[in-house]
Amino acid sequence: MHEIINGDCLEVMKTFPDNHFSSIVTDSPYGISFMGKDWDHGIPSIEYWEEMLRIVRPGGHLLSAGLPRMMHRLIGVIEDAGFEIRDLIMHIFGSGFPKSHNHFGIDGYGTALKPAWEGWSLAMKPLEGTFAQNAEKWGQAGINIDGCRIGSFENTIPSGLHRGKIADYSPKNDDDFKPEIGKNKGRWPANVIFDEEAAAMLDEQSGSLHSAGKARPSIRQCEDKGIFGLPGDGHRIGDSGGASRFFYCAKTSSRERNEGLEGFPEKDPGFTCRLSNDGLHGNHNPRSRNNHPTVKPLKLMEYLIRLVMPPKDGLLLDPFAGSGSTILAAKRLNFPAIGIEKSAEYCEIARARIAAVAEVAKIANPQLELNLDAVNDQ
C-alpha cells in the first residue's frame, strides 16, 4: 500500500484510529513565507502535532524538517504537543545560494549568510513502560542503528574492543565485547548527514586521515556510548580517508525529480534549488514537469525512513506529502506508506512518480527487494 490522499491533513488524520502508524516522516511547512506561498505562512499549529501524536504508536518516531531560523518554533510545538524530543539531525549541503541584499550603502555588507544546512527534528511518542515492554506490546522501540550504520568494513577487527571487563562495567557474559570476526558492521550513525558536494568540500579540507584503534577506553568514555557502553561500538576501525567517512552522505540523481512524469507539461517551479538540498536555496531552475519547490533527495528520505521504521509490520505516514518523495522512498524500501497532500496538482504528480517506481520495481526485482540504483544510473 502506497497511497496519496488529497485533503487537509488535519481533517484526514482525524479519520485514522489511535496508534495506527509506526512512524511519521514529513517535510512540513517552514513558516518563512517562502515565495509568498499560502502553505508556508507559519509552522503548523499544535493541533496538527497533537493529531500526529494520537495516531502514531507508543515508541513511534516523528521526523520533521525545518530551517535554522524557525527550528526552535518547530521543536517547541512538537514538544508541547506531547512528543519527547530525542535529537536534531543536521543535513549539511554544499550548494546553498545566499539570498542577501545590500541596498543600504555600507560597502561589503549584506543581509544573510549562505544557507548550508536544514534540520530534522527527531521526536518520539512516549513509551508505554520501558523500551523492552513497549517493544513487546507494540512491536517497536528505538531506532534502527545497524540498518543505518555508516559503511561496512570486511576483515577488520576493531582494535579498541577487548573481551572482558571495561572500566567498572561488567558484561553479562564474555561474548558481550567480542567483535564479529572478519567483519565490522560500520560506524554508528551520527546526527549529521552530508550531501556529496558538502562531503567533498570537507574531505578537501581534512585531507586523508587514518583512524587507528586505541587501548581500553576510560570510564568517562563509556558513559552512554553505544549499546554495551562502548565508545561508538566499533567506531575506531583502523581505516583511512577523508573526514566525511564518519557520516552518511546522501547521493542524488539528476533524473529523480521528473521520473514518471514524461506525459506531464513542463512548468516554471520558480526559485528552487538543485536536488542535493532542501529546495529553498539555489538558483532559478529551468522549467520542470515536477514544479514542487522543495523536492527532497530520495536517498536522504530512504535513510531517514529506514532509521525510524520497525523491523516488521510497519506503516509510515507523511502528512505533508508534496510531490511524494517520502512515499516514493518508502516504496523503494518496500515499507507500506500513506501520504496526505492538500494540493490536487501535487497529488497527481506524486501518484505518477510512485506508479512509475512500481513498474520499474517489477522489472528490476520480482521479489520487491527494491534497489533501483542500477536502474536510475543508466
Q: pLDDT tens, 231-256?
A: 444 445 556 677 777 788 887 666 66
Question: Which residue intervals of the chain bear CATH 3.40.50.150?
Answer: 2-92+113-142+253-376
Q: Which amino acid is at 71?
A: M
Question: Distances from the Cα of 309 to the Cαs of 62, 119, 219, 259, 337, in angstroms?
Answer: 10, 19, 33, 26, 11
Q: What is the mean predicted confidence (pLDDT) over 9-26?
A: 97
Q: What is the mean predicted confidence (pLDDT) over 367-376?
A: 37
Most confident of 49-63, 156-170, 359-373: 49-63
Instruction: Spell out the residues 6+ positions from residue 188 whose beta carbon is closer than 8 angstroms to its own.
Output: 145, 149, 150, 226, 232, 233, 234, 235
For residues 138 and 322, give the distance between their C-alpha atoms in angstroms, rounded to a whole number: 29
Q: At the topology level of CATH, where does 2-92+113-142+253-376 sit?
A: Rossmann fold (3.40.50)
Q: Is the Cβ–Cβ distance between 308 and 59 less than 8 Å?
A: no
Question: Distances from the Cα of 368 to the Cαs of 147, 283, 361, in angstroms?
Answer: 18, 37, 6
Coil, strand or helix: which one is 89?
Answer: strand
Which residue is it, cell 492538500?
342
Parallel, antiparallel or unpaired: strands 117-124 and 84-92: antiparallel
**Which among 122, 116, 49 has a CA at the least distance from the CA of 89?**
122
**Which among 359, 245, 342, 256 has a CA at the least distance from the CA of 299?**
256
- Indicate the pLDDT class of residue 153, thresholds 50, 70 and 90: very low
CA dihedral 157, 242, 232, 154 (to 10 degrees): -30
Instruction: Report pLDDT digits (tens) over 77-133.
Output: 999 999 999 999 999 888 777 777 778 889 889 988 888 899 999 999 999 999 999
Give me the pLDDT at residue 368, please.
Answer: 36
* Higher pLDDT, residue 42 or 41: 42
Q: What is the mean predicted confidence (pLDDT) over 310-333?
A: 92
Indicate whether 171 pLDDT > 50. Answer: no
For residues 371 and 376, give the distance between their C-alpha atoms in angstroms, rounded to a whole number: 10
Q: Which amino acid is at 264?
A: F
CA 306 centroid distance within chain: 8
Q: What is the mean pLDDT of the chain?
A: 74
Entry field: residues in the chain = 378
Q: What is the mean predicted confidence (pLDDT) over 19-33?
A: 88
Indicate whether 373 pLDDT > 80. Answer: no
